Amino acid sequence: MMEKRAETNILKLLIFTIVTVVLFSCILYYISSSAGKSFIYEQVYAKQIALIIDNSKPEMAVSLDISKIAEIVGKKNVDLNKVFKIDNKEKKVTVSLSGSRGYSYYYFSDYDVAGKVTNDKLLVIQIKGNQND
Amino acid sequence: MINLMNKKAAGENIFSIWWVAIWIVIVAGFYVAMYMYSGVSISVQNIESDILAEKILSCVSEQDNLNQKVLQENFDIYKECGLSKNIFEKEKPDFYFDVLISDESGKLVGKEISGGDIEFKIGCSISNKVNSANYPTCSEKQEKLWHNGQQVNVKVLAASNQNGKREAIGL
């Protein structure tokens, strides 16, 4: 009777340990996966692009490596061309890796800016000149 | 005997409820951690204010001389420096700049040129002493330039308090 009870308790403990380990593994996998990092990538790229625009001069073109972003959107089936949005009217850069929500950051320069994604995973930011010229 | 078995069963149920409670705490902890993780902000305000100050300083100068347009009555700093007037003059601007030109005796040459949220100027003096996320990050740059054969001191103060945000988009 006592032996049977001890066996049941060990079994319960084993199940509990396995479930906990699996749960924690899933959490750690999610955090370390691309999906878990997408919040950070959206923010980093939005701020980086805004700073590039503000630090540029008219008629400049800057290429930005977006291979990390391409890797994430490839897994999520999101169109890479729709990830980056540069709003010339509002002076706002938005980066969205989900398609529904994105991270937005403003730039203060009055440039006419165009962003184009190339096949070799580069975002070419073209500063065409001052809008008020 | 039956009573004892019922008690044992009740004890096992309580034990399984504890299991579920522990897992709920773990999952809740995960969601809290993810919420905090997604809210992490990387501050670039210092770089932004530096760029703004540098940009203004370079457009009010022409090599070692003061840009003569700066002292004209109709001088438009937004147009001259390629800055967006809408960004600096919106209801709650995230930026501020201030340009002061003074001669060797410290007397103001021309008028003070500023734009953005004027409260940032006070915030800048406080943020030098107190480290707080609520105050703007400021950058001050100075340069000595020539104007009508005399040296003038150009002081540019730029500040940023921009915090980006996650929002719904319609791509």
User: Which residues, including other chains, have CB under 8 Å from residue A132's CB and lie 6 or more apart?
Assistant: A110, B78, B79, B85
The pLDDT, as a whole number, for residue A34 is 58
- pLDDT above 90 (res A103): yes
> Global pTM?
0.80
Separation CA B156–CA B143 (nearest Å):
9
Q: Judged by CB atoms within 8 Å, which residues 28-67 of A form the interface with B? A: 31, 36, 39-40, 42-44, 46-47, 51, 54-55, 58
| CA distances (Å), origin B49, targets B24, B81, B136 | 45, 15, 9
Q: What is the pLDDT of residues B8-42, one digit of tens each?
A: 554 455 557 777 788 788 888 877 877 777 677 88
Decide: B122 and B158 in contact? Cβ < 8 Å. Answer: no
- pLDDT above 90 (res A114): yes
- Nearest residue in B to A47, CA atom: B44
Q: How far is CA B10 from the centre of its chain?
A: 58
Q: What is the pLDDT of residues B31-74, one digit of tens each?
A: 787 777 767 788 899 999 999 999 999 999 998 999 999 999 89
Assign A16 a pLDDT band (cuts: 50, 70, 90). Answer: confident
> Could B19 and A44 be called an inter-chain contact, meaning their C-beta atoms sit closer than 8 Å?
no
The pLDDT, as a whole number, for residue B6 is 53
The pLDDT, as a whole number, for residue B102 is 95
- pLDDT above 80 (res B119): yes
User: What string of DSSP letters covers A79-127?
Assistant: -GGGTEEEETTTTEEEE-SSSSEEEEEE--B-EEEEEEE-TTSEEEEEE
Decide: A81 and A94 in contact? Cβ < 8 Å. Answer: no
